[in-house]
Structure 1
């Protein structure tokens, strides 16, 4: 090979190494690819690839210029309805992997130079390079993982060996569990805990756990209770045990600790004890402990302490973000703790309230109803109550409304702003009996106007949070049966949803407002939320969480697992960007918003955000096709 040719190959490798997935590939594989590349030129407006093309497809990498993807209605189910590709991006991956024609027209929207790799060499490269194969088959997931690594490196200097909240409990277990028999004396059990330096002792029979004693229990159950130390230890042990299997994720243990207000979870395999997970195991780097917060909330005597707990939740969320906790898990944990906070406020207000005599259920709506709260969230809630013996709903409402007002104000004091649209339980419109809620929903479904459609996007994500949860369950079952019956209503929801398009630009990468920002919630998250809700209502889905809805509709709507995974990964990346944005704003002491200047994102995050918006457009395309919008 001539020196000039070798220099050109080296220059090509250096250029491509700036972009994913080539930045993750071994140099030998990049050199192998570079030697087989040819360079092609396409004038502005020229078609590069089209569905009618019969020649073998090449794998194309943009060296310079912009390529636009265009589609007709008939082809929109497989690929994005519209896309724009820039330097370093490659196409058409799906067609090459499936050995089929492209479903888009790829056109040069400026003068374009592309590297071309023959299809046979492309397939050979997927076999040679694991990194290249992973990118081609899991494009957005692969990019997201790269971004998460960068995020974690930027937020935290923790050891690379630090456990992830996605780790299995089996991988988190630090040591063999220290056990005793149920009839071991208290004295012997305590001595064994001291000898082994552990904070928990588990009583077992044939390795089946029967009880647990923690150092936290010793003060109240042994010292203060004046227990005879020769008594069997099982007498002072907690026997209401929380267990999880070894394959459960660490975040499941974290949620269990939060919900139950405990510090230890037992790991059991087929009923036999294999380990004990402590809060310290999960959150060794945290300054604020999850169970400490949940315990403090449960026992808070007044609003002042709950306000401090709300601040602790925010700090915990920031710590967990720095640890690299995934967006799905983090939003669930935030919502779970906010649920506990709301529950305690209700309990405190209920003590002296005449509402104690009414059977009611507090409803979580909007993002809280979907388990998708971030650090920036206002209130969306309502009340559903039961009528007995021909009671007058207006009379019960008159009792409940002042009670609800105090709760809404207390939540505002804890950092959850009052809803600007007055979607709160203290509004008489949203404090209704079961029959009244059904009548309201029925009106929206069969005779709804523009405001009713808007309300349905908030209220149809409801879930029961406190009280007579069977009332919320009954309303959900009614809605599951009623919504699919009216295709006109679902069509109207689809029309509304498709008015909000992801901000991908024809000239620039993103369409921004006058302040050169995009709204990650309205233009990024909401398209996924709206589409998932409509499809869930149409299929009688049982979930309110967007990711669970997307996974639940896959089978009835014949959506491929690959597409559902891509939708979920795209949604999660935008959620992660929101969490990062709120973290930075919080650290800077500025007002929390969802608006971000895309130019402040690094190249990798800009690329993933574009891909995430394309996935939103693809999901919207299916919505438009299904409802002929």
Structure 2
């Protein structure tokens, strides 16, 4: 007789992470061990400092609040499908919060003894638990637990740039078109034409025994050696040279060169005794080689037209998609894509300079600002840039600035042509406000620092995240030093900068619901950039500047440096570093999926796992903003 209760439990759990990563039979087996618990409103599930139970919990119906013992402030609310009470079991420690039924609630109690073996053997479950521990933790990105599960240590250095460049897995076609040994050649040719393919597998008893390619049709049929009425067996290449799936780019190239063939047949175990799973062609390898960052970099440097650069940037986006699919660490991905973005910008500048009527009258520097300046521009987002040019006599200033404004306009147009949108706020070198001599820039930045109104705070925030993409680095270095000298002489600026960092709206409401846009073009969408990313980015900027560190612009790296400088806040800073990369990765995935900047998220398009991971970062945002408010006494500024 079927256990209908356990079946209902399994049907419910399969919709939520991490249970959605389990095989059906595993989930059915686990469901047999689940206990159903009913809790009236305000009854305790577990108390703070209580020893961990032998099971953790999933909310089936109702809601559970998490709070500090004796406090009326609710820190979190778990609703349908949420997991809680797991972290203490994994960390072997007491509960850090009190869990209480917020309303009448039904819970599923999952025995850890039955769940643990499944999690250890299932990588997806392990990754979910590592990335988003159960709700009763103040810091889901705790360095204490990050990268390990049940004492298992992960290899954070499993990827190197060499692996990315040469040993990346290669995509192959899994849409196999086949025929039998007795199929007529004319039928084979018609089939290949219909499906627009360059080869066809010859099968016997569902196993591959030969292959026919375009080359075989040209050499053996078109030349008259065999009539079109002959069979596939007469012209097929056999025995087959087969390989296992999961070949790397380097292995695929070596295999084709070794056997002088243009197609590789991939089988389940690499032999012809198992079913074919795919075919890899020379074209597939050419596409993969074209998406190699070293090849893309060489192509960028050879490009002499904007349209050519635009085509290359399609390859960069394909490269980015591949890296995300391979789950390569985002820090490494960001460095590679940033290098390619900088190279693309530099080549646009060179092309623009070649079209100017005269050489630049004085040395200049092109600054990339915003996400590109921080090394975080993975998608084709809008431009933020500026020009610094060397000082000239007063009578030459207007003519010199006009030259660089013209250059800035041509560069911005070129960047737009290759895929970077114009800045909606016009923070570009084609705007006189963002194209100055070194002395003028010093005056402008000093004004921002000593007169920190809302506009000045916004402008300085943009400007502090810059990177020298082209030209005389010494101009930028001198300006940086002047900025830091001015800031040190006016420490109140940090309070204003911190205040600006706290102006972004909260990501969630009281009941953990996402706060979405109330009107306008993006009504009912969640603003990922403004509500979550910018608070973390802004906090990193003001904190690193307060330590007079001017050589680190990347948000994650800023937090990692802060963790070194302030060991007492190490846990929070590393949590922020992790969260910044997780959010950037999330935004990039959304942007690639919807072919946009990934800023505005349609919540109804997210699954439960995505929503949970996104919500985990909200706590980190609140904690880092609380630190800013206390350290820089922002409330005193508002009085």
Give the TM interval when normalised to the shorter protein: 0.5 to 0.7
Deviation at 1:380? Answer: 0.6
Q: Is residue 2:545 matched to residue 1:531?
A: no
Q: Structure 2 CA distance, aligned partners of 1:141 and 1:554?
A: 22
Q: Is residue 2:514 matched to residue 1:510?
A: yes
Q: Is residue 2:601 matched to residue 1:608?
A: no
Higher relative contact order (CA 8 A, sep 6+): 1
Report the equivalent of 1:265. Answer: none
Deviation at 1:517? Answer: 1.4
| Deviates further, 369-378 or 164-173 | 164-173
TM-score, reference length from structure 1? 0.65
Report the equivalent of 2:105. Answer: 112
Alpha-carbon spacing, 1:127–1:628, altered in 2? closer, same or farther (3 Å): farther
Query: Please, which runs of 5 or more residues in structure 1 have no aligned partner?
Result: 146-163, 175-249, 251-279
Report the equivalent of 1:519. Answer: 527
In the TM superposition, what whole-angstrom CA distance separates every residue of 1:445-477 from its partner, at most 9, and x where no partner exists?
Answer: 232111011112211101111000122233334
Residue pair 1:355, 1:399 contacting (<8 A) in 2 also: no
Q: Structure 2 CA distance, aligned partners of 1:426 and 1:125?
A: 60
Deviation at 1:366? Answer: 0.5
Deviation at 1:315? Answer: 4.5
Three-state SS of the structure 1 residue aligned to 2:380 is coil
Report the equivalent of 1:138. Answer: 130
1:290 aligns with one of 290, 293, 300: 293
Residue pair 1:65, 1:113 contacting (<8 A) in 2 also: yes
In the TM superposition, what whole-angstrom CA distance separates every residue of 1:522-573 from its partner, at most 9, and x where no partner exists?
Answer: 2232122112112211222331111111211112233666544543343333
Residue pair 1:83, 1:614 contacting (<8 A) in 2 also: no
Q: Is residue 2:337 matched to residue 1:337?
A: no
Q: Is residue 2:108 matched to residue 1:99?
A: no
Residue pair 1:141, 1:569 contacting (<8 A) in 2 also: no
Q: Structure 2 CA distance, aligned partners of 1:354 and 1:427?
A: 21
Q: Structure 1 CA distance, aligned partners of 2:415 and 2:134?
A: 40
Larger gyration radius, structure 1 or structure 2: 2
After superposition, the CA RMSD in angstroms is: 4.4
Residue pair 1:82, 1:617 contacting (<8 A) in 2 also: no
Deviation at 1:384? Answer: 1.5
Report the equivalent of 1:626. Answer: 631
In the TM superposition, what whole-angstrom CA distance separates every residue of 1:581-603 from its partner, at most 9, and x where no partner exists?
Answer: 322333xxxx6562221111122
2:80 aligns with one of 80, 83, 87: 87
Residue pair 2:165, 2:292 contacting (<8 A) in 1 also: no
Q: Structure 2 CA distance, aligned partners of 1:285 and 1:508?
A: 43
2:435 aligns with one of 425, 431, 434: 431
Alpha-carbon spacing, 1:475–1:34, altered in 2? closer, same or farther (3 Å): farther
Alpha-carbon spacing, 1:552–1:29, altered in 2? closer, same or farther (3 Å): farther
Alpha-carbon spacing, 1:323–1:94, altered in 2? closer, same or farther (3 Å): closer
Q: Structure 1 CA distance, aligned partners of 2:417 and 2:127?
A: 47
Deviation at 1:90? Answer: 3.1
Three-state SS of the structure 1 residue aligned to 2:564 is coil
Q: Structure 2 CA distance, aligned partners of 1:585 and 1:473?
A: 39
Deviation at 1:486? Answer: 4.4
Three-state SS of the structure 2 residue aligned to 1:475 is helix
In the TM superposition, what whole-angstrom CA distance separates every residue of 1:363-419 from its partner, at most 9, and x where no partner exists?
Answer: 010011011113331111001122268886545323322222222222222222222
Q: Structure 2 CA distance, aligned partners of 1:293 and 1:608?
A: 33
Report the equivalent of 1:204. Answer: none
Q: Structure 2 CA distance, aligned partners of 1:60 and 1:562?
A: 26
Three-state SS of the structure 2 residue aligned to 1:138 is helix
1:93-492 to 2 correspondences below 5 Å: 97=91, 99=93, 102=96, 106-115=99-108, 130=120, 138-140=130-132, 166-167=159-160, 169=162, 285=288, 288-318=291-321, 320-322=323-325, 324-351=327-354, 352-354=356-358, 356-387=360-391, 393-480=397-484, 482-483=486-487, 486-492=490-496
Deviation at 1:339? Answer: 1.6
Deviation at 1:130? Answer: 3.5
Deviation at 1:283? Answer: 8.7
| Deviates further, 593-602 or 474-483 | 474-483
TM-score, reference length from structure 2? 0.64
Residue pair 1:502, 1:527 contacting (<8 A) in 2 also: no
Residue pair 1:494, 1:534 contacting (<8 A) in 2 also: yes
